[in-house]
Amino acid sequence: MAFTRETDHGTPPVLANGTTVTLSIDGQAVSVPEGTSLMRAASLIGTAIPKLCATDSVKSFGSCRLCLVEVEGRNGFPASCTTPVAEGMVVSTQTERLKKLRRGVMELYISDHPLDCLTCAANGDCELQDQAGAVGLRDVRYGYDGATNMGQAKDRSNPYFDFDPSKCIVCSRCVRACDEVQGTFALTIENMGFGSKVSAGQSEDFLASDCVSCGACVQACPTASLIEKKVVEVGTPDRSVITTCAYCGVGCTFRAETRGEELVRMVPWKDGKANHGHSCVKGRFAWGYAQHKERILNPMIRASVDEPWREVSWDEAIAHTASEFRRIQTKYGVRSIGGITSSRCTNEETFLVQKLIRQGFGNNNVDTCARVCHSPTGYGLKTTFGTSAGTQDFDSVQYADVILVIGANPTDAHPVFGSRMKQRLREGAKLIVVDPRRIDLVKSPHVAAEHHLPLRPGTNVALLTAMAHVIVTEGLANEDYIRARCEWDEYEDWAAFVSQRERSPEATEALTGVPAADVRAAARLYATGGNAAIYYGLGVTEHSQGSSTVMAIANLAMATGNVGREGVGVNPLRGQNNVQGACDMGSFPHEFSGYRHVSDEPTRKLFEQAWGVSLDAEPGLRIPNMLDAATDGVFKGIFIQGEDILQSDPNTHHVAAGLAAMECVVVQDLFLNETANYAHVFLPGSTFLEKDGTFTNAERRIQRVRKVMQPLNGYADWEIVQLVANAMGLGWSYAHPGEIMDEIAELTPTFTNVSYDALDRHGSLQWPANAAAPDGTPTMHIEGFVRGKGKFVVTDYVPTDEKTGPRFPLLLTTGRILSQYNVGAQTRRTENVAWHPEDMLEIHPVDAENRGVKEGDWVALKSRAGETTLRAHVTDRVAPGVVYTTFHHPDTQANVITTDYSDWATNCPEYKVTAVQVGLSNGPSDWQERYEEQARRSRRIVQAEAAE
């Protein structure tokens, strides 16, 4: 689409309270909700009142004095941004007196501003320039050599944007955006009067400050004072495309602004229903990986992983892939191959991969990265509520009175939603944080948790059951809700179980490490504090009792009546951009799209008729089972789309051995990742900027992904899968991803009303979107649960088999950091490494002192599964006995440490609980060499066994 600016109405919309006010602006009648500003009311009828300090992403401020208007019957010239409408008001926006006043104000601004417009990077995209023209300024009586800001040095420390104080008009928009939108409070106005200037707090520059580079300040700036380096380098954009971010599960909508096909900037779209015009450093700035020099653009094959890669044509690579898979199946049987779908690819691409495996391979050996993150969410919520997804939309948090965050770190892993949550907390909502680590939400500017329960890793179920004990035994359960909405007999069984003395906070204190009084206080607050919402993440699911914990969370919500309306619910914060969508599309070995079991005959017949083949009624292999079968010699080939299982899956040595045992490993990805070291075929993938499709975010919101540029590798990922399918004789003929979505809608009841036309019309849709809910479903389970009656499940605490002891006395837990994403394949190839160049081990000062470890020391991290080395960060953010690290850098190989223990119901790995020991080390070279030699030895052993 052509480049057009988004309309800025000057002040935010007000929440409609049912009262409408009618007034006259320049002789034109307008009706708006009560509380709307005059500026916004005028803008809604196409009347642009000059402004500089006003923008609709922050509250009105009234400092620039450009937006003055005249109101009949009132003295003076009120600022339109701070004046609310009133019934019958008569407003004039353009009179001779107003013109003179505005020109006088603008003269003062221009007298203290550089007049280098022709060479300024914001030329043609500068509000100061536009407003000078709008008020008719043609001369400046005071000269052009104002001394306040001229000559100040630029701050170029941030890798993505510059700050030029000489062009700052001190409108405070950047400061207010940092406060109100992001909630970091990193910027301030320093000094007073003519000496006023924007400052990054006590820091020397932006990079050293508390700034999180979300870009809100850059977007708010009306001049070139804050401007993207890419705009300076390339020039202002001339085209824009609305698309969806390919990072976390928030699913922010962006305007991808280009000059030709060169991406200039990603600007968060104000109409984006998940982000409302906000962004984080990853989505806003970290897209340079799309054109990184390490990206592979040509297909490659090799006969053995010990041989060098050989570039080939697409035709040869596809033909070779199909031939190898057919050869393996002929020799070893139909179930000897399988595949893994990607949670970073679109719904359409994921659907095609599972279709390729079911229709083309003839088995159900398909799995996805959700296996290692949120598969317990699917199992637990389907069991209790009847559907495998969260209950609310993100906007629902604005109506929450109590927010319980357990096993999640929203400000780092889901930062745009984390900012929304902080907004609500600053408005008065109460916060409970259940986490072994003191995450930023526990205490940050103007936000403090009412209760922080730093439980011992692995004891989630015990803690939640103790909270349930308090709710039931103190008569805090909502019996009316339970009788009306849930299975009463099962509730009574559950209530009797949690009421037992051994489930009390006092009895479980020794297990969880959380004082009983704190557990009781948190339980009472959750049960009695009003609308209570639960948000959880991988700290819940990546445990041996992950599914039990999800069901324990659901039990709490049902027992207190906190499901089925705005401001409440059970809300999993999905990690990757399309984890929800990958699950929806049938990426699990036991389910078709829409979470219907492969053994269900009517469902299977539906797919058989559509695809023209007989389908296997037996569930296939999960990822761990594929690797086990490979080492057993019966699983020989795999198609891996967009996942680096050697870095992301547990027990790296076992993953390496499984891959080494296969005869054909096909990797479809952007870069030669760790898994590609064991691949025989590499098919270069495409980025989200190079394709059309849809992503589904954590709130079940289906959103369009639109092509911004042509694929550098020649094909979008869905086209590559279609090439493989057709080489295997399947005869697919999709001309556009919209046709794939039409097939998904035809075969999936929750997607019946989803089409590209509908998505373009609505902007997005939250499933279920069908005849019963044609416009989608923001809030689930309003009248009743999907399964009918809510199901309480007894969740007994079963300690993990991973035990601490004299050899391994500490517990390791893992997580993410704001600037990096997942295994870092994308973000490590951007300037985000300025904030996180390596993974580090957080260790409590007491544990560090006992081991002679100081800040920055190299330490060896050992478990029963393996060993790695990384630098230490000594901090009291973790409790004594607990250490923590991220997993974004392959050099660290954090998953060499993790074990094979997994969730009892879903095989989700127990990443969050690993018994370890920490000791001083000389550096990384020794373990790296051992790891690489072990991988080589695994390959030699497999090859020798095959030869025998």
Domain membership of residue 297 (yes or no) is no
Q: Is residue 429 domain-shared with residue 408, that is, in the same domain?
A: yes
Q: Do 174 and 253 reside in the same domain of the chain? A: yes
8 A C-beta contact, residue 84 and residue 71: no
Binning pLDDT at 50, 70 and 90, where does residue 421 land? Answer: very high
* Within a domain: 102: no
Torsion of CA 7, 12, 13, 14, to 10 degrees: -170
Task: Indicate if 624 and 750 belong to the same structural domain.
Answer: yes
- The answer to whether residues 639 and 318 touch, using CB atoms and an 8 Å cutoff, is no
**Residue 150 placed within a domain:** no
For the segment 716-764, what is each residue's pLDDT rounded down to a tens digit?
Answer: 999 999 999 999 999 999 999 999 999 999 999 999 999 999 999 999 9
DSSP strand pairing (447-448 vs 262-268): unpaired
Identity of residue 242 = I
Q: Are 534 and 466 members of one domain? A: yes
> For the segment 646-679, what is each residue's pLDDT rounded down to a tens digit?
888 878 888 999 999 999 999 999 999 999 999 9
Whether residues 199 and 50 fall in one domain? no
Strand bridging mode 28-33 / 20-25: antiparallel
| Pairing label, strands 430-434, 402-406 | parallel
Question: d(Cα 160, Cα 205) in Å, to the nearest integer?
Answer: 13
CATH code of 72's domain: 3.10.20.740
Residue 944: which residues within 8 A CB-CB, separation 6 or more? none
Cα separation, 128 vs 883, in Å, equals: 51
**Least confident interval from 143-152, 177-186, 742-751, 777-786:** 143-152
**For position 943, what pLDDT does the model report?**
42
Q: In which residue are the tokens 């004990």 written?
A: 469
In 909-934, which positions are buried (b, 16+ CB within 10 angstroms) versus exposed (e)?
Answer: bbbbbbbbbbeebeebeebeeebeee
Report which secondary-structure segment, H or E, holds 265: strand 262-268
Res 501: pLDDT: 96
What's the pLDDT at 149?
62
The DSSP line for 584-648 is: HTT-STTEETTTEETT-HHHHHHHHHHHTS----S----HHHHHHHHHTTS--EEEEES--HHHH
Closest CA to 640 of 333, 932, 343: 343
Q: Mark whether 601 and 728 lie in a shared domain.
A: yes
In angstroms, the CA 105 to CA 114 distance is: 17
**Average pLDDT of the chain?**
92
Residue 120 lies in a domain: no
Give the rounded percent of residues in the chain with a pLDDT score beyond 70: 96
For residues 382-408, give the mean pLDDT. Answer: 95
> What residue numbers bound the domain in which 192 lies?
161-291
Residues 232, 203 share a domain: yes
Say if residue 545 is in the same domain as residue 598: no
**Residue 760, amino acid:** D
Q: What percent of the chain has pLDDT over 90?
A: 82
What is the residue type of 701?
R
* C-alpha distances out from residue 252 to 77, 264, 434, 821, 885, Å: 40, 18, 27, 15, 27
pLDDT in tens, 47-77: 999 999 999 999 999 999 999 999 999 999 9
Contact 685, 717 (CB under 8 A): yes
Residue 190 lies in a domain: yes
Name the strands in the sheet holding 765-766, side by side, starting at the edge strand that comes first in the sequence.
Answer: 693-696, 701-705, 765-766
* CATH number of residue 508's parent domain: 3.40.228.10
| Domains identified in the chain, total number | 5
pLDDT value of position 939 = 42
Sheet holding 253-259, edge to edge: 239-244, 253-259, 262-268
Q: Which of residues 714, 741, 766 is at a domain's end? A: 766
Q: Contact 290/262 with Cβ under 8 angstroms?
A: no
Specify whether 561 is located in the same domain as 595: no
Picking from 766, 791, 825, the residue at the C-terminal end of a domain is 766
Contact yes or no for 492/457 (Cβ under 8 A): no
| Per-residue model confidence as pLDDT tens digits over 867-904 | 999 999 999 999 999 999 998 888 877 778 888 888 88
Q: What is the pLDDT of residues 210-266, one digit of tens each?
A: 999 999 999 999 999 999 999 999 999 999 999 999 999 999 999 999 999 899 999
Write down the H helix ranges in 356-409: 375-384
Whether 524 and 592 map to the same domain: the answer is no
Smallest CA-to-CA distance from 54 within 82, 92, 91 is with 82
Domain presence at residue 798: no
Q: CA–CA separation, 177 vs 279, rounded Å?
A: 12
Is 652 among the domain residues?
yes
Q: How many CA atoms lie within 13 A of 910 on its CB side?
A: 26
Three-state SS string across 632-666, please?
A: CCCCCEEEEECCCHHHHCCCHHHHHHHHHCCCEEE
Give φ, ψ of 500 to 5 degrees: -60, 145
The DSSP 8-state label assigned to residue 400 in this structure reads -
Kindly state whether residue 795 falls inside one of the protein's structural domains.
Answer: no
Rounded-to-integer distance, Cα 895 and Cα 652, Å:
6
- The answer to whether residues 359 and 431 belong to one domain is no
CATH number of the domain that residue 240 is part of:
3.30.70.20
The answer on 414 and 358 residing in a single domain is: no
* Residue at which a domain ends, from 531, 566, 601: 566
Give the separation between CA 483 and CA 840, rounded to whole angstroms.
50
Tell me what the mean pLDDT of segment 111-138 comes to: 89
pLDDT greater than 50 at residue 937: no
One-letter amino acid at 451 equals H
Give the Cα separation of 592 and 619 in Å (integer): 10
pLDDT higher than 50, residue 946: no
Residue with tokens 């806003």: 284
Instruction: Look up the CATH number of the domain holding residue 628.
Output: 3.40.50.740
